[in-house]
Each structure stands twice: as structure tokens, then as C-alpha cells.
Structure 1
Amino acid sequence: MVQSHGNNDEYFHSEAKVYSLRSNCWRRIKDVCFYLKFNRKFGFLANNALHWMVFKTPQSDNRNLVGFNLGSEEFRFLELPDFCLDKLFWFGIKAMGGDLCLTATYREINNVVVDVWIMKEYGVKQSWIKSISWNEPHNISDSPVAAPLAFSKNGNKVLFNIAYKWCHLRKRGGKFVWYDLGSQRVENVGNRQIPTSFDVDLFVDSLVPLNSNAQQ
């Protein structure tokens, strides 16, 4: 996707292209109807579609979820669940266990609450289910970002990355914890090799190697 705009969003243009490994060339598809607004994050894959958090207009402050179907090569907006937007200070969305997963972190009196929503039926707003509501002020403090990463092999636990932003140093630090879905207990994951400052990204192996057309 390529987007260009002028000063103060007076001019705005966007277009989307798909690269084909078979033909080894780019081709333009239907233009996008949203605004990335300097979002440099990669799209995440779920239900055979790439997803981004976007804005419908350059002037909008409301974020929307859009998906690009890799089969039909079409964009569509997906509705988010109704959560505490007035209390919210961070939320993120990604894929976990093959489904869309939204994490909303907000303050409630003196506590920090982390809600995790899972979309059980793709594209259906009513299928969003709040699977976790984690209220642990002694484990989460100092304006953190709590992001679920993966389920355990038996599906009974969720691995979280608790990241702390150090704005004056422009660094991120944090830790990893297991959250038990049954007992709601939290267990720290010890790893002495983790550096003081780090970030976390999820790796998804491609079904098609980039050099698939190259001669062996």
C-alpha cells in the first residue's frame, strides 16, 4: 500500500498493489478506502486475511480494523467489541490461536485492568468473547502494555509480555508471565538472557518461500 498526502492533510491519495511470485511483477488492485496515518506496523495474518488498525479519513481520531482477504484480494472493515473507550489508555489487536485477539488495558479506581477479547466467528461482531479480565495491580504498574502472545500447548494458559515504556530514554523493558485461565494465577517466566531493553514481534512462517522460482 502506498499513501501520500500534503500539508495538514489537504491532499490525500492512496493505492494498493499485489506482488505475484508466479509472474514476478506488481499489479494494482482496488484502491484502499482508509488512512494508515503513519502506522509503520506490519499487517498481521488471521483467517487468511492481513489486518491493520486504520482511520477512515485523515481527520478521524477513531481507529478501525480492516482486513485484506488474500484469496479475493478485497478489503473489508470489521467491527470491534464494545469496551471501555472512556477509560482506555492502550489497546492492541493481533492474531492468537488463529483468531483475532484484542487487548484493552485501562484503569479502574486504583487498579489496572487487562481485558482480552477473542473473535470466535470471523467478521461477526457478536462473536467477540471476553476470555480474560485480569485485575492485578501488584503485577502491572507504571503504565504498562500487557500483550498476550500465545496459548500453552494444553490451552490452559496464556503467555503475556508485560512491557514498560521509558519515554525519556525511548526504550522498552518488561517481562514475560503465564496467566492461568482456570485459577487466574500469574507465574513469572524467568530468562536471564533477556536484555534490559527489548521489543517483541511474532514470527509467522510463510507457506511460499521467496525464492520459490529460483533454480535449485
Structure 2
Amino acid sequence: MSHLHIPVELITNILSHLPVKPLVRFLCVSNQWYAVITNSDFIIMHLNRSIETNRERTLILKEDDIPPPLRYFSVKFPKDNRLGKAVEIYQPLYYWDLKDQRHKWDILDYCHGLVCLYKDDDEILIWNPLIRKYRKLPNEPIEESSGFSGNMYSSLAFGHDPHKNYYKVLRVMTDDVKFEVKVYSLRSQSWKKIEERWPKKSLDSWNAKSLNGAVHWLVGDRGVLDQESLLAFDLAGHREISALYNAISTKSLYSDRHLEVLGGYICVIEIYMFTNDVWLMKEYGVESSWTRIYKIEQGVVPWIFEYLKPLMFSKNGKKVLLEEDQDAHTNLIWYDIEKKRCKMVKNQSFPDSFIVATCIGSLLLLDGDNVIDPGLKKKKRKRKRNQSPLESIGSNG
């Protein structure tokens, strides 16, 4: 029986519906399949289907507040909202530098299955935990022409530029008077200084969030108390900086605010006296579209709490998954918006204290220059250790 020829278009379409793990295995099937799966157009097609279907929703847990070596875990997120068992995964830098102080690495942000990690604001990497590969960014010095005087501060952000389909890291350096803004592009693998003038605003929080091709901060007018607004930096080519709209409240009643992204919307959490008031901007850039989606007061949670970070909605949108740090222990909580009830997520496989990133199925960083696979490096080292002295000499000759 002759071998049937299957059109490449049909193979591509079938493969694009599959999860990440089998696709990585299928790289070995044939040269044709390898070419299809590593093609940039296929990777984008697969990602878009993951976004549309919320395919392979996964929590990445990074152990926190314990001595190294720290561990990373993946947790599957089934349709019924029951979190699966925490499975340890390769650490992105564990085999890169055995002397590295891994407890200093932290999660900056995450987008489309990529997780951005940083250490001391000058070491940054972008990691795809589902395929175990990462790219370490080159160190970027501060330019002497920036003219900083006194103490300097920095704010980092990670986001996606949908206009050019680039993934970028933004670094803002300031001494509260002057600013230096630089952007790293995953495509060009280089830093570029942005010459646009920064507005006369102070960053009320160094916590930046990316959405709709822009990075956002809560900022205030210098010398003016309780007058916050939302500042957006456009990651697209024209790099326009503008204050888009006023914050939802300017009352001094609220002691603190946090900026997040929830369900594809900009989200502001106002905190006062163990109360979390959570607002979404339902129509991007429209101030009147701010909508309060829930409010958690003391008593709903049977212990004293300060900040319950929203991570994601349930499949039907009626519940929200919350993260809380509590005395060297991290809690995950489901909050029912309609019934105003909280239910603790109990899972003995979770570490005691951790930081959460959320992922979907993505093949980004599957192939390309300067992409590192720590699992592959471990295998090479293991093979080298198992070699006899004569085999080692032969392999070098």
C-alpha cells in the first residue's frame, strides 16, 4: 500500500489544536513536523487558539521566604476549577549558575505563557515554564547623560506589543526629578533608550501592569496628596506617554491602592481597614466605565486580612481566585461574587509559601538564538559524568 501524502496545511491545522507537551515530543517525528511546529506563524496560530479557549491554564508556584534551593511547581487548572497536584518543574537558572542566590529571583509579570523573572533590578530573564526554556537579558548600564543625582529607583514592566507582536521589558530609572526609560525587545534582543519626555508625575507604586499594548502605573501629581491617576506607556512604535484618565477615587479615606489585571481588564483594588474594594475598567480608556465587581469585608474571610490579590476568574466568571500572604504562609481562596463567600483551596502538594504566576499553553521561545534549555544542559552534564576517562578523551579528540 502506497504511503498517503497528507497536505502540510492539514497537518498544521491538526497540530495547532494540540497541547504544548505532545507538540514538543512531536518535534522528533520528522523534519517536516519539526519545521511546522517551530515555524513562527504556527506558534502564533497555536497561541491564539490557546487564548481563545483558555487552553492549558496552569499556575506556576515559586517557593518564597525559605532558604535556597527554591523550587518551582506547575499546577493544572481543570474546567471544574479544582486545582491539580503541584508538580515540581525545572528551575530556569538552577543549572545555569550553581552559585547563584536563587532566593533573590522574583516574578515580575507574565503574559501569553511567558514569565518574566528579575533579580536586583539588573538581572532579568524571560521564561516559558511549559517548555522549560528561557532567555536571559543582557545587562544594561545607566547612561551618564541621564544626569541622575542622589538616590535612584527603578520600575520594571513586562508586556506585549500587539502592533508588532513583540514582547518587551520596560525599565524606568528615576531620582524623582529625572527619568531614563529603556525598552528591551525579545525580537531584536537589544535595549533601546526612549527619548520621550516623562510627564511631571510621581510613581505612587512601582508595581506596573501591562494590558492592550501599554504599561500602566498609578501616579500622582508632585506635592498633591490623594490625587492619583493612571499613567500608560504605549509599547508600540510611536512610544507615546500620556496620562489617560483619573483614578476612580480621590478620597483620602483609602489608605492604599493596588493595580492588577483581571480577566483582561485593568483592575484597581482599594484597601482600607481590612476591606478590599475591587473595580474594573470595563471599557479601556473610558473613565465612566469603572465598575465595582465585588467588595470583601472583614467577616467574609474568617481571619484578619489586608490584601487579597485577584488572580483569575473561574470558567463561568462567577468566582475569582485570590492569593493572600499570611505569616510566611500563602493561601489560595475562591471567592463567590454572588454569594459573597470564601472557600480555601486545600492542597497538600503546595509549598507553604509561594508566589503565583498564571500561564496558558504557549510555544513561545521554542526555538531561536540565545534560548537556553536548563533540562538539556542537565542531561549533557549527566552524560559527561557517566563517561569513562577514555570516553571523555575520545569525545574531546
**When the two structures are superposed, what TM-score results if normalisation uses the length of structure 1?**
0.73
What is the CA–CA distance in structure 2 between the aligned matches of 1:182 and 1:38, rounded to whole Å?
A: 31
CA contact (8 A) 2:203 2:219 kept: yes
User: What per-residue deviation string (whole Å, max 9, x for no partner) do you get for residues 5-56 of structure 1?
Assistant: 42699983212123345554433321322444783x4x32212211223444
Report which of the two has the higher share of helix. Answer: 2
Q: Counterpart in 2 of 1:82?
A: 249
- Equivalent of 1:6 in 150, 165, 169: 150
1:173 to 305, 325, 329: 329
Q: What's 2:306 paired with? A: 144
1:178 offset after TM fit, Å?
A: 0.9
Q: What is residue 348 of structure 2 aligned with on the other side? A: 192
* 1:48 aligned residue: 213
Amino acid at match of 1:67: A
Between the aligned partners of 1:203 and 1:147, the Cα distance in structure 2 is 17
C-alpha displacement of 1:149: 0.9
Match of 2:61 in 1: none
Question: Matched residues in 1 for 2:252 and 2:179: separation?
Answer: 29
Query: Who wins on radius of gyration, i.e. which is larger?
Result: 2
Partner of 1:94: 260
Letter paired with 1:98 = G
Q: After superposition, what is the alpha-carbon deviation per residue over 1:151-199, rounded to whole angstroms, capped at 9, x for unaligned? A: 00111111111223x5xxxxx4331111112222221111223333333
Higher RCO (Cα < 8 Å, 6 or more apart) = 2
- What 5-or-longer segments of structure 2 have no aligned partner? 1-139, 153-173, 372-397
- Render the CA deviation track for 1:103-144: whole Å, top value 9, x for unaligned: 12222xxxx322110001112211110110222425154352
Post-superposition offset of 1:201: 4.6
Amino acid at match of 2:281: M
1:127 to 272, 289, 299: 289
What's the offset of the Cα at 1:85?
3.5
Deviation at 1:60, TM superposition (A): 5.9
Q: Is the contact between residue 178 and residue 188 of structure 1 (CA under 8 Å) also seen in structure 2?
A: yes
CA contact (8 A) 2:298 2:305 kept: no
- The change in CA–CA distance for 1:64 and 1:113 in structure 2 (over 3 A counts) is same
Which letter maps to 1:81? I
Q: Report if aligned partners of 1:105, 1:146 keep a CA contact under 8 Å in 2.
A: no
Q: Is the 8 A contact 1:120 1:128 kept in 2?
A: yes
Distance 1:21 1:11 in 2: 29
Cα gap change, 1:56 to 1:211, in 2 (>3 Å): farther
Q: Relative to 1, partners in 2 of residues 1:23 and 1:89: Cα closer, same or farther, differing over 3 Å?
A: closer
Amino acid of the structure 1 residue aligned with 2:184: Y
Question: Retained in 2: the 8 A contact 1:47–1:99?
Answer: no
The residue number in structure 1 matching 2:315 is: 153
Deviations 1:83-115 (A, max 9, x none): 7531x34321111111101112222xxxx3221
The one-letter code of the counterpart of 1:155 is: G
Counterpart of 2:331 in 1: which secondary structure? strand
Q: Structure 1 counterpart of 2:247, which letter?
A: L
Query: What is the count of residue pairs matched by the alignment?
Result: 201
Instruction: Verify the 8 A CA contact 2:300 2:340 in the aligned structure 1.
Output: no
Contact in 2 for aligned 1:21/1:213 (Cα 8 Å): no
Determine what percentage of the aligned residue pairs are the same residue: 30
In 1, distance between residues paired with 2:346 and 2:183?
Answer: 42
- Please tell me whether the aligned partners of residues 144 and 163 of structure 1 are also in contact (alpha carbons under 8 angstroms): no
SS across alignment from 2:288: helix
How many angstroms apart in 2 are the aligned matches of 1:120 and 1:10?
34
Is the CA contact (8 Å cut-off) linking 1:5 and 1:11 kept in structure 2?
Answer: no
Pick the aligned partner of 2:269 from 103, 106, 114: 103
